[in-house]
Amino acid sequence: MSARTDARRDARGEADARARANAYGGAPAPRTLVDAVRLRLAEAGAEPTPARVAAALRAQGRLLGDSAVLGVVEALRSEMVGAGPLEPLLAEPEVTDVLVTAPDEVWVDRGGGVERTAVRFPDAAAVRRLAQRLATSAGRRLDDARPWVDARLPDGTRLHAVLPPVAVGCTCLSLRVVRPRAFALPELVSAGTVPPGGDALLRAILDARLSFLVSGGTGSGKTTLLSSLLGLVGPRERIVLAEDSAELRPDHPHVVRLETRPANQEGAGRVTLRDLVRQALRMRPDRLVVGEVRGAEVTDLLAALNTGHEGGCGTVHANAAADVPARLEALGTTAGLDRTALHSQLAAALSVVVHLARDRRGRRRIAEIHVLEQDRYGLVVTVPAAVRGPDGFVRERGWSRLERLCARGGGAL
């Protein structure tokens, strides 16, 4: 977003604030008054329209002018509708994350690292109220007995919130924006996520139906890249997604989406990612996709990829492509799978790792592509096949193996 657009938005925000302040002689709408009206409207289940706010004010024995009523309406809508003061930030097309660490510390990520914004909350209690309201809209509980929540909002936005005293000082609120459509691969090339000529290599991996993982750190763009790649899958193939939180949005005509579910207040009804992977195998998938491999489901995924389910894929957190085997080994131990068995299955199940990282300017980039092979001890290691250079991918010692894998599956580099 340009500096001029930022300036216009900040000017509009300041003008709105001045208008609300002028309604009360230069001061914001009294907090006690706003709280009283909010409580009355909440009890009636009513939206904060000017007429309803005016009626609630009369019931409080307050007779205010039109400008004062509109000031209360604005304050209530900011708290009761959508994401309140964060709504304009979430609506910006470039924003991927909105982060609140204090009433006067609201940050966004527009793809170039976090930036501080001019958005402010009245106090820490306002941040807590917003977090609790968002959690309620997602059907989750957030209070002193359960001080954190990880959920998906009705519009697909990923919500994470932690209340004090677990979060020191103020409620910590994190919102991850899920766009309604996936980026096309040419868009990722234009944005620099995929290096020049890298799209042909990724298409060859998909055409060859090689099983692969997209690795990287938090916020490195793993889900974005995987959504784009799934859009390249043939239209006659059936994609079954199993996710902890439904974030993948592939542009594909035949997608089945499964999402985990937490236990209810009685502790019953929980559906795990491992449950979903098992169910997905019975749904005739041409491509089995695990949104994020993070636990015991790794054993079911590897078993599936070893029993005729080619072209499966998913994402995994790792600092580098070379760390993926160790990461999967650690996850396999949570399911009781010993090291030898894990590496044996891994060698036969997985072919490629595509690793993403942020550069020094915070931009998301494909850093390297590795192939997997076994060392003389039978352990799986990754071998660099293509590493990002100034003008595109640079071929490394694993390139010949990647060529053979793609050729064996019908793809061509």
Report, as an integer, the average pLDDT of 121-141: 90
DSSP labels, 334-370:
TTT--HHHHHHHHHHH--EEEEEEE-TTS-EEEEEEE
In this predicted model, what pLDDT tens digit does every residue of 221-241 receive, in sequence order?
Answer: 999 999 999 999 999 999 999
82-178 and 185-409 agree in CATH topology: no
Poorest-pLDDT segment among 1-5, 59-63, 182-186, 323-327 = 1-5
Helix (H, G, I), strand (E, B) or coil at 1: coil
Distance from C-alpha of 350 to C-alpha of 371, rounded to nearest angstrom? 9
pTM of the predicted structure, to 2 decimals: 0.75
In this predicted model, what pLDDT tens digit does every residue of 294-345 receive, in sequence order?
Answer: 888 888 888 888 877 889 999 999 999 999 999 999 999 888 888 998 999 9
Identify the CATH class of 185-409. Answer: alpha beta
Locus of tokens 């706010």? 53
In this predicted model, what pLDDT tens digit does every residue of 352-382 receive, in sequence order?
Answer: 999 999 888 888 999 999 999 999 888 999 9
In this predicted model, what pLDDT tens digit does every residue of 42-52 receive, in sequence order?
Answer: 555 556 666 77
- Half-sphere CA count of 38, side-chain side, radius 13 A: 19
User: CA-CA distances (angstroms) from residue 126 to 34, 76, 132, 198?
Assistant: 12, 11, 10, 46
Locus of tokens 């080619």? 310
Which sequence spans correspond to the domains of the chain?
A: 25-79, 82-178, 185-409
Helix (H, G, I), strand (E, B) or coil at 154: coil
Question: Dihedral of CA 250/251/255/260: which sign?
Answer: positive
- Half-sphere CA count of 269, side-chain side, radius 13 A: 7
| CATH T-level topology, domain 82-178 | Beta-Lactamase (3.30.450)
In this predicted model, what pLDDT tens digit does every residue of 87-110 receive, in sequence order?
Answer: 889 989 889 899 999 999 999 998
Distance from C-alpha of 373 to C-alpha of 303, rounded to nearest angstrom? 18
Is 198 in contact with 393 (CB distance < 8 Å)? yes
Helix (H) or strand (E) holding 395: strand 392-395
In this predicted model, what pLDDT tens digit does every residue of 144-189 receive, in sequence order?
Answer: 999 999 988 888 889 999 999 999 999 999 999 887 778 899 999 9
Phi/psi at 398 (5° precision) = -90, 0
Residue 39 pLDDT > 60, yes or no?
Answer: yes
